[in-house]
Amino acid sequence: MEEQLDPHEVAHTRLLTGVSRILALMYLGAKRKVDFIRAGLGASTLYHNLILLEEAGLIVKRGDEYLLTEKGARLAEAIYKLLVEAKSLLGDLLQQ
């Protein structure tokens, strides 16, 4: 079974941009702004990057939730798998 990453690791690693962090957190199940903030992302980072992701067609907003589109889900999965591989190579995502 694939190793699971903690949302805190994903939110705080310096290996990813804000957009990539949001996609990886969505892959882990985050759907609402509060989910991203609890994981450790700042509100201003969220606002700007959620707009970028919507404009790119990677997420859609339904009510108070953000959902991955099919294209977004494929990209989020690839980013998450890359992070898992990075952790196995580097040991600690928070130090990178």
Residue 53 belongs to some domain of the structure: yes
What does the mean pLDDT of the chain come to? Answer: 90
* Prediction pTM value: 0.87
Give the CATH number, domain containing residue 41: 1.10.10.10
Residue 33 belongs to some domain of the structure: yes
* Residue pLDDT, tens place only, 75-86: 999 999 999 998
Domain count, the chain: 1
User: Beta strands of 1-96 (E only): which ranges?
Assistant: 59-62, 65-68
d(CA 67, CA 85): 25
